[in-house]
């Protein structure tokens, strides 16, 4: 098993940061894996509930960007993300990658 660091970034579609963040993670950082999850409902600090309805298909739904790589590679990425993403929207933890 190899040690890795998992990172989750919480955004909303309307924030306009998704494309910029994906470009940074893919082109500049070249992290090992990225997944974007689109929520069907959620709320943050404001308490405003964002939800998907069949009638209007909201464009302001919660989005989670999850990625991982070695701790050495993730550390500078986290420092950079702190300049792009508002406080309390980034979570990370140490994990192990099964590489057999």
Q: What residue ranges do the domains of the chain occupy?
A: 2-97
Burial of 44 per CB tally in 10 Å (0-12, 13-18, 19+)? middle
Q: What tens-digit pLDDT sequence spans the chain (100 residues)?
A: 899 999 999 988 777 788 889 999 999 999 998 999 987 777 666 777 666 665 555 566 789 999 999 999 999 999 999 998 989 999 999 999 998 7
Q: For residues 17 and 89, what is the distance between their CA atoms, to the nearest angstrom?
A: 12
Strand partners, 19: none
- Tell me if 13 sits within 8 A of 60, measured CB to CB: yes
- CATH of 2-97 given 3.30.70.120, 3.20.20.140, 3.40.1350.10, 3.40.50.300: 3.30.70.120
Give this prediction's pTM: 0.83
């Amino acid at each position: 098993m190899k040690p890795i660091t998992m990172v989750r970034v919480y955004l909303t579609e309307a924030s306009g940061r998704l494309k910029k963040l994906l470009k940074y993670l893919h082109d500049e950082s070249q992290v090992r894996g990225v997944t974007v999850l689109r929520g069907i409902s959620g709320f943050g600090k404001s308490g405003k509930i964002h939800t998907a309805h069949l009638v209007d298909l909201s464009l302001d739904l919660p989005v989670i960007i999850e990625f991982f790589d070695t701790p050495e590679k993730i550390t500078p990425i986290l420092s950079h993300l702190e300049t792009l993403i508002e406080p309390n929207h980034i979570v990370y933890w140490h994990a192990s990658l099964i590489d057999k």
